[in-house]
Structure 1
Amino acid sequence: MKNKGALVRGFGEPWSVEEIEIGDPRRARSKWTWGPPGGESEDIAA
């Protein structure tokens, strides 16, 4: 599953928003929703 994520590569480095690959949820893993209140949200596997 592809999604956008905010990443920081090292201490003191700037954040960047990149497309990342996340594996599908498996047993003992959960799927949750992330987003600003009242805004557009995305499902995330964690």
Structure 2
Amino acid sequence: LAHTTRQVAQGWETRLRIGFNSLLPAECLFPAIREFYELGVPVDVQ
């Protein structure tokens, strides 16, 4: 709970849920997701 509270206080959501359709292959999202993880923010990407 304390961890979640700190994340929200810093302006970060605890979870990021990404939806996409079949018009683009899922592989198109991977570079952006990788860059997001490189920020070091402990957000659960689904």
With the shorter chain as reference, the TM-score category is under 0.3
Structure (1 or 2) with the greater helix fraction: 2
The TM-score normalised by the length of structure 2 is 0.23
Larger relative contact order (C-alpha < 8 A, sep ≥ 6)? 2
The TM-score normalised by the length of structure 1 is 0.23
Structure (1 or 2) with the greater strand fraction: 1
